C-alpha cells in the first residue's frame, strides 16, 4: 500500500507575509510539518506542492520531495484546494509510476498537532478505508447554527443563521457538533480523483476528534501569536 503525504504551501499569503516559511519553533513553519510527517511510520513519502521556488528550496533542505512547481492557476486566493490535491496525485503517479492508495494532507498552518493523533487516526483510516472515503480532524465547538451564529443584514440587524426548526436555548442541548480543523485530511485516492466538487461536501467522511489546543490554525497574526504562546506552554 502506498501512503503519500502532501504538504500544500503556496507563496502568496496575504494575512501573514511569507506565512509558510515564517519562523516558528526556531525553524521555518513548513519545516515543522515536514519533519513531523517524516516521523510517521505509516507515511511512505513526503511531498511539498508549492508555486514558490523559495519555499521549494527550504522544503528540500528539510527532507521533502519537490517533484514539480505548482502552476500559478492552482495557487491563487480563489483556487479550490481540492484541485491542487488532484494535480499533486496526477503528477506524482506519473513521475513515480506508482498508484497512490491513500492521500494524506498535513497543512503547514497546524504546527501544534500531535504525532500521536496522526499515528492513531491514520492507522484507523488505513484499517477502515473500505468503510470511509475520507477522514478529517475536528474539534469540539461552542459556535452552533441556530444558537450563536448570526447573519448580519444590510441595516446592521442580524438573524440566527442555519440550525434546525427546534429552538435552542442552551449550547448543551446540541450534541456532537464539531468544527472542522486543519490538522489532517486523509482520503482514498480514487475518491479524490472522482470528485467534481470539494470532497468535504460529498462522500462518507469520518470525524476524528482532536484537542482544540493542538488544532490551532494559523490564518492571521493573532493566530500566530496564540500558537507561539501555546508552544511555550507545552
CB 111 within 8 A of CB 24: yes
pLDDT of residue 43: 98
pLDDT of residue 141: 79
Mean pLDDT over residues 200-215, rounded?
A: 94
pLDDT of residue 186: 98
- Distance, CA of 39 to CA of 117 (rounded, Å): 13
- 48 burial (CB, 10 Å; 0-12 / 13-18 / 19+) is buried
Which residues pair with residue 162 across a beta bridge? none
Q: Encode pLDDT of 156-184 as tens digits.
A: 877 777 655 556 555 555 567 788 999 99
From the options 3.90.550.10, 1.10.3720.10, 2.30.30.790, 3.90.226.10, give the CATH code of 3-141+177-233: 3.90.550.10
Question: Model-level pTM?
Answer: 0.89
3-class DSSP string for the chain: CCEEEEEECCCCCCCCCCHHHCEECCEEHHHHHHHHHHHCCCCCEEEEECCCHHHHHHHHHCCCECCCCCCHHHCCCCCCHHHHHHHHHHHHHHHHCCCCCEEEECCCCCCCCCHHHHHHHHHHHHHCCCCCCEEEEEEECCCCECCCEEEECCCCCEEECCCCCCCCCCHHHCCCCEEEEEEEEEEEHHHHHHCCCCHHHCCCEEEEECCHHHCCCCCCHHHHHHHHHHHHHC
Give the least confident one: 34-38, 130-134, 171-175: 171-175
- Distance, CA of 47 to CA of 105 (rounded, Å): 10
Q: Encode pLDDT of 75-86 as tens digits.
A: 988 888 999 999
If you count them, how many residues does the chain have? Answer: 234
Which residues lie below 8 Å from residue 90, measured CB to CB, with a gap of 6+? none
- Distance, CA of 224 to CA of 216 (rounded, Å): 9
Amino acid at each position: 500500500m502506498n501512503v503519500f503525504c502532501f504538504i500544500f504551501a503556496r507563496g502568496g499569503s496575504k494575512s501573514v507575509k511569507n506565512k509558510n516559511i515564517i519562523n516558528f519553533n526556531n525553524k521555518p513553519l513548513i519545516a515543522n510539518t515536514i519533519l513531523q510527517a517524516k516521523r510517521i511510520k505509516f507515511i511512505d513519502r513526503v511531498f511539498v506542492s508549492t508555486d514558490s521556488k523559495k519555499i521549494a528550496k527550504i522544503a528540500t533542505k528539510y527532507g521533502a520531495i519537490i517533484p514539480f512547481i505548482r502552476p500559478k492557476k492552482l495557487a491563487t486566493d480563489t483556487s479550490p484546494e481540492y484541485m491542487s490535491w488532484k494535480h499533486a496525485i496526477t503528477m506524482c503517479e506519473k513521475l513515480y509510476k506508482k498508484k497512490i492508495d491513500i492521500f494524506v494532507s498535513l497543512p503547514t498552518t497546524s504546527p501544534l498537532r500531535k504525532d500521536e493523533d496522526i499515528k492513531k487516526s491514520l492507522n484507523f483510516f488505513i484499517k477502515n478505508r473500505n468503510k470511509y472515503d475520507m477522514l478529517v480532524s475536528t474539534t469540539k465547538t461552542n459556535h452552533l447554527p441556530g444558537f450563536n451564529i448570526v447573519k448580519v443584514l444590510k441595516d446592521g440587524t442580524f438573524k440566527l443563521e442555519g440550525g434546525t426548526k427546534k429552538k435552542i436555548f442552551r449550547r448543551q442541548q446540541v450534541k456532537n457538533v464539531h468544527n472542522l480543523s486543519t490538522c489532517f485530511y486523509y482520503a482514498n485516492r480514487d475518491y479524490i480523483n472522482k470528485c467534481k466538487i470539494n470532497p468535504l461536501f460529498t462522500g462518507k467522511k469520518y470525524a476524528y476528534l482532536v484537542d482544540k489546543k493542538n488544532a490551532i490554525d494559523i490564518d492571521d497574526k493573532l493566530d500566530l501569536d496564540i500558537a507561539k504562546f501555546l508552544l511555550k506552554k507545552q
